[in-house]
Amino acid sequence: MNPSLLNITPELTASVADKTQAARTLLAEIARDFPPVTFANSLGAEDMVLTDLIVEAKLPIEIFSLDTGRLPLETYDLIAAVDKHYGLKLKIYFPQAEEVEAFVRNHGINGFYDSVTLRKACCHARKVEPLKRALAGKRAWITGLRAQQAATRTGLPLREYDEGNGLEKFNPLADWTEKEVWAYIKQNGVPYNALHEKFYPSIGCAPCTRAISPGEDIRAGRWWWENPESKECGLHVKG
């Protein structure tokens, strides 16, 4: 969806109001019951909604992002915009240099295109390992995942236990629609990635993300050379 084309109807406004209140309540409960808690902000539209809700309520929830080293310029611009708009300096985690160096040395700078196995190895070095460090010592983490985002996320609950990381995981926007996310952003003046205006509904690393065409699935631009069933990076795989 190009956010500029969104038509905010009274029905959409009402549904956003209801879900916003539910998300506020859940976030407050998480902050109260599971300290220390952290929010993984991937700087997508959903994560900007949660950032706005957390900052607005002054909740004691840490907010961090992963800088893979291959993010689009527009994503770095958004990190700066978050600082300017909210006075919030995101806690940034970077990959371990030796892991990235080893991957590039063994498989080439763009080796992730060669197979799903190598792509996931790249994601592990640039995203999964830094996430482990970000979650260390936390009792819970929050994500901006939605059930409608991908075939791999069907039936996504509001709360689940993350066995891989050994802590509770909350998805406050699990039942939100894409239109509800964008209506909140528009109604509340939330900053967002400029690539969304260029038909990038889901944004990851620059070489692994493309714009989509009308009618395509919203995750079609992520790892577009792979089947939908494999389109996860390892951050949200169960088991």
At 212-235, the pLDDT tens digits run 998 888 888 989 888 776 555 556
- The residue ranges of every structural domain in the chain are 3-96+133-201
Rounded Cα–Cα distance for residues 238 and 145 (Å): 14
Give pLDDT, residue 235: 61
CATH number attached to the domain at 3-96+133-201: 3.40.50.620
Residue 170 pairs with which residues in a beta bridge?
A: 142, 159
Tens of pLDDT, residues 66-95: 999 999 999 999 999 999 999 999 999 999
Tell me which of 122, 205, 208, 233 is the catalytic residue: 233
Q: Is 233 a catalytic residue?
A: yes
pTM for the structure as a whole = 0.90
SS3 sequence, the chain? CCHHHCCCCHHHHHHHHHHHHHHHHHHHHHHHHCCCEEEECCCCHHHHHHHHHHHHCCCCCEEEEECCCCCCHHHHHHHHHHHHHHCCCCEEECCCHHHHHHHHHHHCCCHHHCCHHHHHHHHHHHHHHHHHHHHCCCCEEECCCCHHHCHHHCCCCCEEEECCCCEEEECCCCCCCHHHHHHHHHHHCCCCCHHHHHCCCCCCCHHHECCCCCCCCCCCCECCCCCHHHCCCCCCCCC
Give pLDDT, residue 232: 58
In contact, 141 and 38? CB cutoff 8 Å: yes
- With vertex at residue 17, the alpha carbon angle to CA 2 and CA 65, rounded to the nearest 5 degrees, is 60
- Block means of pLDDT (10 residues each) for the chain, 239 residues, are 84 97 98 98 96 98 98 98 98 98 98 95 96 97 88 76 95 95 97 95 93 86 80 54
Location of structure tokens 């003046």: 189
Indicate the residue type of 103. Answer: F
Q: Which of 39, 109, 103, 75 is nearest to 204 (CA)?
A: 75
